[in-house]
Amino acid sequence: MGGGGFSEKRDKRLLGNYMLALAGKKKPKVCFIPTASGDAPGYVDKFHRAFPARRAKASSLTLFRHAGVGDLGKFLLAQDVIYVGGGSTANMLAVWRVHGVDRILRKAWRAGVVLAGVSAGMNCWFEQSVTDSFGGRLAPLKDGLGLLKGSACPHYDSPKGRRRRVYRRLVAGGVLVAGVAADDGAALHFVGRRLAAVVTSRPEARACRVERVRGKAVETPLPTRYLGKAK
């Protein structure tokens, strides 16, 4: 998800419902990993309010505070859905690697667990991304998990077009490889490494491929499906 999700009221639970449905169960087990936010308590509380018992069997994995989980691998591989929150992509990846969460998530992906996330939780699955993890400035990050090929840019419709402008420049200059960009409210649904669909919680949300062609960044819009009711 390029942005939005349960943390914003405008989402209307559309992306969350779509995500849960992919598990194919009435009440799937969904685990929230808020590492990128430093395990912010308010963020974790908001997740649990968004996914009450009637929707899912929700849990969270906090690594800065005591996780309350003995075997991380056994715990995460038992989930139907793993949802990664937003924040600092770079810090999150560093902490994951210390605890071996990166290796566990790769096993979960191969086992068919639904992997999802927003912002940093979008960036992490790709080889490369653009992030504001370094002092607030937008910069390239080249050591993602690499489950998905190419680069990524969330929040593509950020105010004043800042993210779009920087991402295009990085791709045009060959600093980042070609990839995909998603607005707030747009979600890229991959099956394996194949992009199967782009769904949105806002009628205006869009996603596109961005690639380098003769030294310039070229955008190719991706077909999208609005999950809400058409007006």
Task: Assess contact for 182 and 4: CB atoms under 8 A.
Answer: no
Q: Strand 179-182's sheet: what is its strand order?
A: 137-141, 126-134, 148-153, 179-182, 207-213, 216-221
List all residues 6 or more positions away from 67 whose beta carbon is below 8 Å from its beta carbon: 61
Tell me if residue 201 is catalytic: no
The alpha helices in 127-226, defined as continuous H runs, are: 162-172
Catalytic residue among 129, 151, 155, 201: 155
Tell me if residue 133 is catalytic: no
Catalytic residue among 37, 119, 133, 158: 119
How many CB atoms neighbour CB 23 within 10 A?
A: 18
Residues annotated catalytic, as ranges: 119, 155
